Structure 1
Amino acid sequence: MIEYLPRSKQHPELHLTQFGMEDCTPGHFFGPAVRSHYLLHYVLSGEGVFEVGGIQYRLRKGQGFLIFPDIITYYQADPANPWSYCWFGFDGTSAKLLLKQAGLLKTSPIFHYDADDRIYRYLQLMNDSREFGKARETRLTGLLYLLLSLLVEFGPAASPELKETRAEIYVEKVKDFIEMNYPQKITIEDIAQFIGLNRSYLCSLFKQRLQLSIQDYLIRYRINKACEMMGNAELSIADISRSVGYNDALLFSKIFKKVKGSSPKHYRAEAYAKN
């Protein structure tokens, strides 16, 4: 069983390029060769070997290997106990980071997953998705995310380098949350709960990365948005205040002056004078 899929324009961040399953004959091999996308193999039964970078790995049921794009690899089924495996080809802008979170690197392309048969079930659901029409591509992408989430959850403990990468991800999540919700009455606790981290830890991490507290970042973001709205003559200062999350116009004016050095009214007048 094998199905090839076109490159996705709907999900450029992550998408399947192919998937399939094969019961290999004794000694069946592929390569040496290179691939143009990521290709994840998961052993369902039997044994075989995978070679990359001059290193040979012997694998069996519950193990798998990842082929990276443009890397020469070779793999072969055992002559006496040939493997059966399923595979998932994929690509996208988020693929590298997700694989890194799962501990899958060019220097460590092997993974283990023997908790249950979910990987095989995801393959079956991908195959069954043919009954879908316009939603099939989204469904396949969702199943791919579920598959990679297993590898992330059950992968090795994070390395210092990966922890650093995760810190950057958390900081970006804070910034994204503020960007989407700054007009609302949000708190630091709301942000920490959304991200799923302890409030104190998140605040410490954010300040360490940006040399700015989350609260100060939120205030500056709101005030900068208010400045962008000053050019709209249809909006009063009170309207702008409410639009950036301050129902109290006096409090807004006080904070605005502290950040910008002048009152909202004076700032607007200067902006109009320049234009």
Structure 2
Amino acid sequence: MIEYLSPSKQHTELYLTQYGMEDCLPGHFFGPAVRTHYLLHYILEGEGIFEVGGKKYKLRKGQGFLICPGVITYYQADTVNPWTYCWIGFNGTLAESLLRNAGFSITSPILCYERDDAIYELIMSMSQSQSYRHARETRLTGLLYSMLAMLMEFSPNKLPTPPESRAEIYVEQVQLFIENNYAQKITVGDIARVIGLNRSYLCSLFHQRMNMSIQDYLIRYRMNKACEMMGNVELSIGDISRSVGYHDPLLFSKMFKKVKGDSPRHYRALSQASSSIDSN
């Protein structure tokens, strides 16, 4: 079984190019050759060899191998106990970084996943997606993300993240959470729970990196968004207040003046006057 796909421009970050499954004959081989996309094989039964970069790997059930674009590889089924494998071909702007997060690279191409039948079941779900008439590509992309997420979660290939890098990741997670949720009634405690860190530790870490508290960052972010909205004459100050997470307009005005040094109404009037002068 093999199916080739013709991706559209809808999912440029990550997309399937093919998927399939094969019960190989003894000694069946492919290569040496190169591919134009990533190709991840997973062995369901049997064994065989995979060669890349001058190294030979003898692989069996529960293992697999990654072929990277432009890299010469060779693989062959065992002559006595030939493998049965499934595979997915994919590409996209996020493919390399997602694989790296799962511990895969040109120099680390071997997969070890002996937990369950999840990879096989995901391939089967890809085959069953043919029943989708209008959203099959989105369904397939979702299944591909699910497979990579599973490998990122459980793959023993993953390298430990240095403490300094972890700190940067946590700060980025705080910033991203605020970016996506500033319009809601959120607290620092909410952010810490979502990220999965102790509140005090996260606050200390953020302050060390950003030289301000999470609360101050949240307030400044909201006020900057409010300033962006001031140019929309259809929005009242109350509308803007609610849109940046403040249901009390008086509290919003107080915080706005604290950050921007002026009341929202006066700031808007000055901004509109400046825009009028610039247009003339």
TM-score between the two structures when normalised by the length of structure 1? 0.88
**Change in 2 beyond 3 A, CA 1:165/1:111:** farther
1:1-275 to structure 2, matched below 5 A, reads 1-156=1-156, 158-161=158-161, 170-275=170-275
- Counterpart of 1:264, as a letter, is P
Q: Which residue of 1 aligns with 2:278?
A: none
Do the aligned residues in 1 keep the contact of 2:112 with 2:156 (CA within 8 Å)?
no
Structure 1 window deviating more from structure 2 (116-125 vs 244-253): it is 244-253
Alpha-carbon distance in structure 1 between the residues aligned to 2:203 and 2:196: 13
Alpha-carbon distance in structure 2 between the residues aligned to 1:25 and 1:157: 30
Alpha-carbon distance in structure 2 between the residues aligned to 1:167 and 1:44: 39
Structure 1 window deviating more from structure 2 (155-164 vs 180-189): it is 155-164
TM-score between the two structures when normalised by the length of structure 2? 0.87
- Counterpart of 2:131, as a letter, is E
Q: Report the Cα offset of residue 177 of structure 1.
A: 3.0
Do the aligned residues in 1 keep the contact of 2:99 with 2:105 (CA within 8 Å)?
yes
Do the aligned residues in 2 keep the contact of 1:101 with 1:162 (CA within 8 Å)?
no
Alpha-carbon distance in structure 2 between the residues aligned to 1:153 and 1:261: 47
- Counterpart of 1:199, as a letter, is R
Alpha-carbon distance in structure 1 between the residues aligned to 2:208 and 2:79: 55
1:80-127 deviation line (CA, Å, top 9, x unaligned):
222111111111222222212211122111111111122112222222
Q: Secondary structure at the match of 1:26?
A: coil
- Counterpart of 1:26, as a letter, is P
1:3-46 deviation line (CA, Å, top 9, x unaligned):
10112423222221101111222222111111111100011112
Q: Secondary structure at the match of 2:137?
A: helix
Structure 1 window deviating more from structure 2 (61-70 vs 92-101): it is 92-101
Alpha-carbon distance in structure 2 between the residues aligned to 1:91 and 1:268: 47
1:196-224 deviation line (CA, Å, top 9, x unaligned):
44434443444444444322221111111
RMSD, aligned CA: 2.4
Percent identical: 69
Alpha-carbon distance in structure 1 between the residues aligned to 2:255 and 2:87: 56
Alpha-carbon distance in structure 1 between the residues aligned to 2:149 and 2:272: 52
Do the aligned residues in 2 keep the contact of 1:171 with 1:206 (CA within 8 Å)?
yes
Alpha-carbon distance in structure 1 between the residues aligned to 2:137 and 2:160: 35
Aligned residues: 275
Q: Secondary structure at the match of 1:36?
A: coil
Alpha-carbon distance in structure 2 between the residues aligned to 1:21 and 1:3: 9
Q: Secondary structure at the match of 1:240?
A: helix
**Change in 2 beyond 3 A, CA 1:55/1:206:** farther
Alpha-carbon distance in structure 2 between the residues aligned to 1:207 and 1:13: 33
Q: Report the Cα offset of residue 145 of structure 1.
A: 2.1
**Change in 2 beyond 3 A, CA 1:243/1:83:** closer
Q: Secondary structure at the match of 1:10?
A: helix
**Change in 2 beyond 3 A, CA 1:122/1:52:** same
Structure 1 window deviating more from structure 2 (180-189 vs 50-59): it is 180-189
**Change in 2 beyond 3 A, CA 1:215/1:199:** same
